[in-house]
Structure 1
Amino acid sequence: MANILRIALSCPDRTGLVAAVSGRLFDLGANLGDTSFATLGSTAEFTIVCSMPESVTVEETREALAALPELKDADLWVGRPKDEASPPQGNKVTHSIVVSGGDRPGLVTRLAEAFGDYGASIVRLTSERLDDVEGFRYLVRIETRIPKEKEMTCLATVKNTSEEMGLACSFKSL
């Protein structure tokens, strides 16, 4: 039987960081689940949910990761998620949505409100500011679970909201 662990770390970004962490977890017998990695300036943020063999403790996992040279000066947290029950069905993604264009303060808030109005759950959200010929362009990717009976109206609202703000919006059913 396996136990579920959540690992969160923040440290200076270094070449080989993802390989070192995932390799050490593999050596411990981990099976990676939801994983997120991003660089924020010169800082790397890495969050992992994984299942570990019962024989590997939280402390052993933390010590094995902390010993990695790539994690020098890292803020490292290893523990059990608050909800160790089986993953909720709410994590099933039904749609992938991409919104892009110029800077529009409040965009994420307005989109999140639209999803909430239709009982949809945001499963994953990433937002990036990209260099463009005309300055900056923003790219927001959202993976969501939309109830089947509200799918068309929710997607129409999200598309209309984006277009009202002068942004491009595309989506696909998964």
Structure 2
Amino acid sequence: MAETERDVQPVDCAIIHNIYDNGSAREHFEFELDQALEAKRSIIIIEPAHLGDETARWITVGNCLHKTSVLSGMACLVAPALLPNQAVNFVTFPTGTVSVACALLYGVSWQSDPCCKYQVEYDTRNLSRLPLHSLTTATPVVLVRKDDKYRKALHNLVAGLAAALLAYKVYQWCIR
């Protein structure tokens, strides 16, 4: 009997099963997740709803900080070219400050967390290739490892340029 594509489990896949063997099941689930993250598994399937939801929210907040840093930094950088001189500071300072603050918060809270290397998978085509049929829950959270070095470099570069522009504006303000 030939194996179908659906029956093949990815070699680098970790499944955190929703099995309550003892009173410390939550700690056991968290330990399994930490082990899978540190092992740098390419796919992590989380069955326990509370752990999956918590992990997905953590990743979503990190993504939000990243996107906010990039978008507000870009607004800070393009404002001088697009706005009249009297309105530039009203856009540049708040957006530049938000960009730098989000990049710093991401760097302090998320950058060292192994969970930041993962994204939640929502694509049904990709999900259909995983061994989800053997799970006890119909709504697992699936994490896929992604290379984020370019993403981090982008938000650090944009936030750094925004910080440099803000420093230049403050310098100009002080020498007047």
Q: TM-score, normalised by structure 1?
A: 0.22
- Give the structure with the larger helix fraction: 2
Higher relative contact order (CA 8 A, sep 6+): 2
